[in-house]
Homo-oligomer: A and B are copies of this chain.
């Protein structure tokens, strides 16, 4: 299996007026929301499984169990943020992602590490990442390394 998309996967997000607070910069929790938007899009487009399908048809989920965030510069309204997503490590049930937000030039605005854990519903217990998903994830990792 080969991954034929962009390496790394990116999502561009324009900072909205309503994402910013009275200090004129992005309100902190919105950065996590942006990173989750990149993660959701990556699952849909790279792994090929929308979260709704995973939840409703496969009886699974991949909730975030840990996050680490570094806020390096303060995004402001109308700024375009290019987020790229890399898979840092892949375990039996869990995946560690690194989402980096950059301005159009070459300045990092934030770095968000996300650890997702696959669980079976409704027991909500960790379960192995399905083999079909794992193959696509490994192909993505490989493509990003050599790309």
Contacts and interface: CB of A to CB of B under 8 A. Distances in A.
Chain copies in the assembled complex: 4
Contact of A18 (B29, B61, B74, B77): B29
Contacts of A21: 17-18, 20-22
A3 interface: no
A37 to B, nearest CB: 6
A55 interface: yes
A33 B36 CA distance: 14
Interface in A58-109: 61, 63-71, 74, 76-78
**Chain A's interface: helix, strand, loop or mixed, by majority?**
mixed
B67 A68 contact: yes
A27 B17 contact: yes
Nearest to A61: B23
A27 B18 contact: yes
Contacts of A50: 77-78
Interface of A: 16-18, 20-25, 27-30, 32-33, 36-37, 40, 44, 50-52, 55-56, 61, 63-71, 74, 76-78, 121, 124
Given A52-B78, A68-B68, A74-B124, 8 more contacts: A18-B40, A23-B55, A23-B61, A25-B63, A29-B33, A50-B78, A65-B71, A66-B71
